[in-house]
């Protein structure tokens, strides 16, 4: 079946502009996660959604970052007033439920802030 | 805070040899430990995972061991092949979000 999809695959933007990154989880998965992977680094947790519960935003690095999940499916990660240090690969994952369920990752969006 | 340490950062082996990657975690409440393989330009792909009620798990050439007392878990790849070359990440979880190690770049020389 279809896996996690993300768009765009690549995004180049100028410092100070806003960007929106989209994630389509696997159908039926109630949990959705965003991670960030900087060049040559491990993955850093940003935020996750579980059903209708309040999202866990504890990993968001600043108030310029926000995310929404509409209708319990598609999610959008928004970065306002982008900075060069925001350049990274943004990865989305989904799982059947929160907890010890396998997280399946999308291919990521490669963001470059000039 | 929660932390996962992974070693080594790079590992080069000859085809057919074994490879071992080790991780330690700080959160004693962690109860789920997946391993991911990431190829260049792709998202991480789960290769094996283990839960805290199990000490060892094997899937063909891949095995994972867990020592909860020492807060330590390891990935073992036997009979390595060139297509095993990739970056491998360990992770630990207690609440659903994954805390990742820094990754190990494995190179398998033909």
- Chain B residues in contact with A108 by the CB 8 A cut-off are 42-43
Instruction: Report CB contact under 8 Å: A35, B36.
Output: no
Q: Which of A95, A91, A89 is nearest to A32 (CA)?
A: A95
Percent above pLDDT 70 for chain A? 96
**Using alpha carbons only, what angle is made at residue B42 by residues A25 and A105, rounded to the nearest 5 degrees?**
25
Residues in contact with B78: Cβ distance below 8 Å, sequence separation at least 6, in sequence order: B18, B61, B62, B63
pLDDT of A100 above 80: no
Under the banding of pLDDT at 50, 70 and 90, the label for residue A40 is confident
pLDDT of res. A4: 96
Q: CA of A17 to nearest chain B CA: how many angstroms apart? A: 25
CA A65 to chain centre: 10
Residue carrying the six token digits 């990660």: A77
Question: What confidence tens digit (pLDDT) does each residue in B31-65 have?
Answer: 999 999 999 989 999 999 999 888 899 999 999 99
Using a CB-CB cut-off of 8 Å, the residues of chain B touching A106 are 43
Report yes or no: B57 and B73 within 8 Å, Cβ to Cβ: no
Range from A4-8, B22-26, B38-42 carrying the lowest mean pLDDT: B38-42
DSSP letter (8 states) at residue A16: T
Position B28 scores a pLDDT of 92
Would you put residue B4 in left (φ > 0), alpha (ψ -120 to 50) or beta? beta
pLDDT level of residue B70 (50, 70, 90 thresholds) = very high
pLDDT band at residue A99 using 50, 70 and 90 as cut-offs? low
Q: What is the largest CA-CA distance in chain B?
A: 41
Helix ranges (H only) for chain B are: none
Tell me which residue has tokens 């309040």.
Answer: A54
Average pLDDT over residues B94-107: 93
Q: Which residues of A touch B (CB under 8 A)?
A: 4, 31, 33, 35, 41-45, 48, 50, 56, 58-59, 91, 95, 98-100, 102-108
**pLDDT reading at A93 higher than 90:** yes
d(CA B109, CA A94): 34
Would you call B104 an interface residue with chain A, using a CB distance cutoff of 8 Å?
no
Provide, as residue numbers in chain A, all residues whose Cβ is less than 8 Å from the Cβ of B100: 35, 42-44
Q: How far apart are the first and last CA of chain A?
A: 37
Q: How many residues does chain A have?
A: 114
Average pLDDT over residues A38-50: 88
Q: What is the pLDDT of residue A70?
A: 84
Q: A10-35 burial, b if ≥16 CB within 10 A, otherwise e?
A: ebebeeeeebebebbbbeebbbbbbb
Q: Which band of pLDDT confidence, cut at 50, 70 and 90, is reported for residue B87?
A: very high
Question: Is residue B102 scored above 80 in pLDDT?
Answer: yes
**pLDDT reported for residue A39:** 81
Strand positions, DSSP E, chain A: 5-7, 10-13, 19-24, 31-37, 43-50, 65-69, 75-79, 88-95, 104-105, 109-113
pLDDT greater than 70 at residue A75: yes
- Average pLDDT of the residues in A70-82: 93
Assign B21 a pLDDT band (cuts: 50, 70, 90): very high
User: Does the pLDDT of residue A98 top 70, yes or no?
Assistant: no
């Amino acid at each position: 079946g279809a896996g996690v999809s993300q768009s765009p695959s690549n995004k180049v933007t100028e410092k100070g502009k806003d960007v929106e990154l989209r994630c389509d989880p696997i159908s039926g998965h109630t949990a959705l996660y965003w991670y960030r992977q900087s060049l040559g680094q491990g993955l850093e947790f940003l935020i996750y959604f579980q059903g209708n519960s309040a999202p866990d935003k504890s990993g968001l690095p600043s108030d310029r970052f926000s995310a929404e999940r509409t209708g319990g499916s598609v999610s959008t990660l928004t970065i306002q007033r982008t900075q060069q240090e925001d350049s990274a690969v943004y990865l989305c994952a989904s799982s059947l439920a929160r907890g010890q369920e396998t997280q399946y990752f999308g291919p990521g969006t490669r963001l470059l802030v000039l | 805070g929660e932390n996962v340490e992974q070693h080594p950062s790079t590992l080069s082996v000859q085809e057919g040899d074994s490879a071992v990657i080790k991780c330690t975690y700080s959160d004693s409440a962690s109860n789920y430990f997946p391993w991911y393989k990431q190829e260049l330009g792709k998202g991480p792909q789960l290769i094996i995972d283990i839960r805290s009620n199990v000490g060892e798990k094997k899937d063909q050439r891949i095995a994972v061991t867990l020592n909860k007392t020492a807060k330590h878990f390891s990935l073992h790849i036997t009979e390595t092949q060139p297509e095993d070359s990739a970056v491998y990440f360990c992770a630990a979880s207690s609440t659903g979000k994954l805390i990742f190690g820094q990754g190990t770049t494995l190179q398998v020389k033909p």
